[in-house]
Every structure is written in C-alpha cells, then in structure tokens.
Amino acid sequence: MDSAPRPRPVGTPPRALVMAAATALVGATAAALVLLPAEPLPEWAAPVTPPVAAAPAVAVAPKPEQTVPYVTFVDAIRAEGGVSRAPAYLVGHVNATGCLPTWSGLPASAKRPLVSTLHKTGRPVGLSFGGPRGAELAATCAGPARLLRAYRSVMKAYRPGLIDFEVTDSADPATTGRRAAAIQRLQEEARRVGSELMVTMTLPATRAGLSLADRAMLKATRAAGAEIGRVNVLVPFSPGARDNLRALADAAHAANRQLTRLLDRPAWPHLGLTPILASPDDLTVADAKTLVAFQTKNSLGELSVRGAPPAEAVAQILTAPRQ
C-alpha cells in the first residue's frame, strides 16, 4: 500500500521552483565567466600591496613636499633659449678636472644665467653631478677636504634645492667612500643651520633592476651616514619596440623590490622612473597617460624623461598637476 505524501515543512519552496532557480544560477555563472578577460592584465595595472608600516630606516629622510610629479631634466651643455615651465628642474651635469668643478670643460660659473632663470620660475631646481660625459668630482679629487670644498663651491654658486649624483663609477670603492663621506658632511652642515639637503642618486636599470655594483654602492653610501632620499632609474627605450612600457614596468618593479630590501621600508616613494627616448615617437599620448596612472597608483616619487624631447601633447600630460 502506497504511503501518503508527507506535508512540505513551512518555509520550504516547491521542488519545481528550486530546480528553476538552480538552472538560472548556472546560466548566470557561465555568462560571467565569458566576460572575464582572457589574459591577465599588464603589469601597469597590477594591484598594489598597501604599504606596511615599518620603523623608519636609518639615513632616509625624504619629505612629502620633496616628492614632485614630474622633473624636467635640463642638459646645461645643450640647452638653448628658454626652458618650458615644469613642476621641477634638474640641471646637469657638473663634472670635474681634478678638484675643479666644470660643466664638461666649461668653468663652474658658466651656467649661472641658466640656473638663475630657472630659479625665477619659483619651482625647485636641482643640480646633477657626474653623468655620461665626464668624471664626477669624487672620482678625480682624492683629498677629502678639497672634495668637500669643491662641492660647497658649487652649492654656494647655484643654491640647488637638491643635489643628484648620476653615478657611473660604482665599482670603485674608494670613489664611493669619498663621495659618501662628503655627502654626510654636507647634510650635517645643513642640519646645523636648521635645513635639510636632499640627495638623490641616478642609476641605470634593466628588467632585472639595479646592478650588483650599484646596489653595493647604495649600501656603502648609507652605511657612511649619508641620507639618500630617492633613487632614480634610467631605462633606455628601443626605437620602435612595442614592449618598451613592459620593459619599463619590469625595471620599476625589480628596482622597487631591491630598494625595499635595502631601505627596510616600502620603496615606491623613494623611487624615480626615467625612460630614455631615442625619438619623440617612442612615447605616445596613451603611453604618457599610462605612466601618470602608474605613478599615481604606486605613489612613485618622481617621473621624468631623458633623451629625445617628448612631443608637446605628451609633455603636457606629464607635467600636468596630479589629481
């Protein structure tokens, strides 16, 4: 004898309704999967891990106001006529003959009119020592006292808001030691009068980041008590290459990891990123927008461009105030 059907508990939907809802859910899930991107997003759009609070690292003293959205590099030897308005300027390069500061052989005073014009804009103006066209003072001036006087003379003549060292001699420990000791003294002297001297380093980078020699130089400089506020990495673009931005992103992320270990704190605010253009065509308007978005997303300390000047439309995007 068949048993009578049991009554459905109160609040339980009919079986037909449950089956219909399950069918609809499967269909919606399939549709959502179709809408997902087929490939992972590029590195530029990768989510950023929130900074982890850490104890302040020794010998790192950048201030928020010392971080600027874009720095226009002014080649003092090739600069002609006026310089376009920008958030900040870096003028280079101060080289050396023995213990005598020069501008690629020109007297140390030769670029006062240029730097004076930049100061009149009211924007920060820094000076870069070293670079690709001559020796840096620490490499040619072996006497610590004379080296310190040489740096002081340049700073007194040009009143830079910061000094940068574009280092090409990291493999020379003696030069590194002299430079680090001089930086430490200059920064100590600034503190005695209630000021701070911002010091940055400019170094080449590849997709693997900074070289072993450059990392060792940074470590030795900090060990000597010198404060490095920012490390700016130079990444050359290959003319016409379609993966230039990818190479730039790889270099930035690799350098960030290396500097994070060196500084014992999140390194993005202490990192600058500078592509070197072979042609204005190497950086498009879309590329410039991507760079600005990358800087904003990661709180990148500095953005700049070297080599060929960017197109006017590109320059406007790079130098525009950040939101």
pLDDT tens-digit profile, the chain (323 residues):
444 444 444 444 444 443 444 444 334 333 332 322 333 333 444 333 333 333 333 233 334 345 678 999 999 988 755 677 889 999 999 999 999 999 988 998 899 999 999 999 999 999 999 999 999 999 999 999 999 999 999 999 999 999 999 999 999 999 999 999 999 999 999 999 999 999 999 999 999 999 999 999 999 999 999 999 999 999 999 998 999 999 999 999 999 999 999 988 899 999 999 999 999 999 999 999 999 999 999 999 999 999 999 999 999 999 998 87
Domain boundaries, position 287: 64-319
73 within some domain:
yes
5 within some domain:
no
Q: Would you state the pLDDT for residue 48? A: 37
Q: What is the DSSP code string of 53-65? A: P-PPPTT----GG
Q: Would you state the pLDDT for residue 79? A: 75
What distance in Å separates the CA atoms of residue 4 and residue 229, rounded to the nearest whole number? 83
41 within some domain:
no
CATH code, domain carrying 171:
3.20.20.80
Q: Would you state the pLDDT for residue 65? A: 43
57 within some domain:
no
153 within some domain:
yes
What distance in Å separates the CA atoms of residue 125 and residue 162, rounded to the nearest whole number? 7
Tell me whether residue 206 is exposed, middle or buried, using C-beta atoms within 10 angstroms of its C-beta: 0 to 12, 13 to 18, 19 or more.
Answer: middle
| Phi and psi, residue 200, nearest 5° | -125, 160
| Phi and psi, residue 199, nearest 5° | -120, 130
Enter the pTM of the model.
0.80
| The two structure tokens encoding residue 279 | 């042609």
133 within some domain:
yes
Contact 315/283 with Cβ under 8 angstroms?
Answer: no
Q: CB under 8 Å to 215, separation ≥6 — which residues?
A: 258, 262
What distance in Å separates the CA atoms of residue 67 and residue 128, rounded to the nearest whole number? 17
Contact 75/49 with Cβ under 8 angstroms?
Answer: no
183 within some domain:
yes
- DSSP 8-state assignment for residue 211: -
Q: Half-sphere exposure of residue 227, counting CA atoms within 13 Å on the CB side?
A: 19
Q: If you search the block for the tokens 């009578």, which residue do you land on? A: 4
Q: What is the DSSP code string of 144-166? A: HHHHHHHHHHHHHHH--SEEEEE
If we measure between CA atoms, which residue out of 83, 78, 165 comes closest to residue 119?
Answer: 83
289 within some domain:
yes
Structural domain count, the chain: 1
